[in-house]
Chain A
Amino acid sequence: MRSVLAPRISLVIYLCMLMLPVYWLINLSLRTNTDIMAGMALWPHHPTLDKYRAIFADPTWVHAFGVSLSYVAINTVISVTVALPAAYAFNRYRFVGDKHLFFWLFTNLMAPSAVFALPFFNLFYAVGLFDTVWAVALAHCLFNVPLAVWILEGFVGGVPREIDETAAIDGYSFPRFFIRLFLPLIANGIGVTAFFCFMFSWVEQLLATTLTSSNALPFAAVMTRSYSASGMDWSLLAAAGVLTMVPGAVVIWFVRNHIAKGFALGRV
């Protein structure tokens, strides 16, 4: 009995510790600033949704939320679309320079944003994309495309090669085989990959804030800016912070059964 109980208890304690900062943020977001400054309270005694209402009523916040979601969506679609054939090629064929190319892609996954921030600014300014959602979406391709290739390659490897051969014998043309037969087989993998692209694009802020100024400012950047402008509105800051967690929480629910494999980059 003891051997089952001890791990369960450690797990529950760990999960509670993990949720504590999140809970604290929710707690503060439901209290007014005077209430917060008056003293500690482990739970909101007079919960109010005022700050959330204030955020939804302010067009700057709503616009920024839309901006964040749109560059994340554009990036996810681009990354998955271009990565699919590449992942197939890497897994199924040998070609000149394949190993080097794969390694080079892999290094881009590790490229430090701090190194790229300034050159990206120059580049996107020069091509006239500065301060648009496209700039951020394309910049995030730097690490999301290699990531997508990497994860998908693992999932493509899970499909037996006999299927490709059988389809060819049955007279399927390659594009038809790829779209009609192959893609449904790795649907889970595509889902997981999209989730990861979403995740890394959603959380990245250094490039997103460097490449935008006002029109396409992401939600989290508006948040950082607002507290330097209006003094310390802790409660508003907390409410905005809570809202940035919502899309992630929603998306994660859909892939919960495949998360573990996805994090192993399809390699277990």
Chain B
Amino acid sequence: MMDKPTNNRAWFFVLPVLVLVLFSSIVPVMTVVNYSLQDSMGVNNFFWNGDSWFRDLLNPDTEIGARFADALLRTIAFSFTALAVEVPLGIAIALCLPRRGWSVGISLVIMALPMLIPWNVVGTMWQIFARQDIGLFGAALTGIGLPYNVTQGSVSAWVTIVVIDVWHWTPLVILLSYAGLRAIPDAFYQAARIDGASRWAVFVNIELPKLQKVLVIAVLLRFMQTFMIYTEPVVVTGGGPGSATTFLSIDLVKIAIGQVDVGSAAAMSLVYYIIILTACWIFFTVMTQIDRRGDR
């Protein structure tokens, strides 16, 4: 890796990407920054408002601040719940997949299918599936005597969103882990067999260390996606009952479009974006560290 030639003309290769992403990234971000520092009196009549949107937002005593803090906590709780289920389950299923054979292709295609369904269709699908009258999931849970109702009970709503996310995205963890597992040479397993290592010992000492790199990618992608979850809860629960499943992005859209409170929404967007950038940077650093260790 160290012997890459330095060549600043490589910038020309990157230029198209740069122009395109600048257009679709910087312009909108600047619009948001603009809104976050101004207040408006009617259409196109803006005046400088300094940092007051931000001060309100970050102060839990104000109405918007309390709302933001709640939504943030809810989103973090959701992200961690989803990760806690998906990562172990994903690794376990990846270990169940045979290393080769005809069944691998079919299994992978089936697993990838949920990820290729438009997100609002996923929502609609589960909206139907979770209903007590016409949905199998809702009917089965009610049938065994559980007080299950997505639109009324906040626990039911919360559980449903987690189940949807697990259904939708565990395959991503499986596919990543499977790719990592397949990269382990057979010789490692043979050596373990000669040493008489138990299944658990093989997992802890051989498989888990080799999976480290892909697992970081998996956790990163899953964390980001759960942190930004929008479409599925909007379709299935609409953020309710009450505000039980109103995650950050949902609240953001409610404030921006529902209440046309553009200043608060813009400030919220920026804080939200900064949290994501920070998390991103941590993961990115960890990932490059692992890459570097792998190169040596």
A residues whose Cβ falls under 8 Å from a Cβ of B: 3, 7-8, 10-11, 14-15, 17-22, 24-25, 28, 36-37, 40, 78, 81-83, 85-86, 88-90, 92-96, 98, 101, 103, 105-108, 110-120, 122-123, 138-139, 141-142, 145-146, 149, 199, 202-206, 218-221, 223-224, 227, 234, 237-238, 241, 244-245, 247-249, 251-253, 256-257, 259-261, 263-265, 267-268
Quick one: which of A8, A88, A203 contacts B119, CB cutoff 8 A? A203
Which residues in A have their C-beta under 8 angstroms from that of B119?
203-206
| 6 residue pairs, one from A and one from B, having the closest CB atoms | A248-B116, A119-B28, A89-B13, A114-B249, A7-B96, A85-B13
What is the minimal beta-carbon distance from A266 to any residue of chain B, in angstroms?
Answer: 10
Interface positions, chain B 1-22, Cβ under 8 Å from A, are 4-11, 13-14, 16-18, 20-21
Q: How large is the interface on B (under 10, 10 to 19, 20 to 34, 35 or more residues)?
A: 35 or more
User: Once the chains bind, are A105 and B17 in contact (CB under 8 Å)?
Assistant: yes
Stretch of B80-88, B148-156, B185-193, B224-232 contacting A (4+ beta carbons < 8 Å): B224-232
Which residues in A have their C-beta under 8 angstroms from that of B54?
none
Can you list 25 A-B pairs, Cβ within 8 angstroms, ordered by A? A8-B98, A10-B93, A11-B107, A18-B110, A18-B167, A21-B125, A22-B114, A37-B134, A40-B134, A85-B13, A88-B13, A95-B9, A106-B280, A107-B280, A111-B276, A114-B230, A145-B21, A203-B117, A205-B119, A206-B119, A241-B124, A259-B109, A264-B179, A268-B179, A268-B183
Q: How far is the CA of A21 from the CA of B163 in the complex (A)?
A: 12
Contact with A along B82-121 (1 / 0, CB 8 A): 0000000000110111100000010111111111111111
User: Once the chains bind, are B17 and A111 in contact (CB under 8 Å)?
Assistant: no
B residues whose Cβ falls under 8 Å from a Cβ of A: 4-11, 13-14, 16-18, 20-21, 23-25, 27-29, 31-32, 92-93, 95-98, 105, 107-121, 124-126, 128-129, 133-137, 139, 167, 171-172, 175-176, 178-180, 182-183, 199, 213-214, 217, 224, 227-228, 230-231, 235, 248-250, 252-253, 256-257, 262, 265, 269, 272-273, 276-277, 280-281, 284
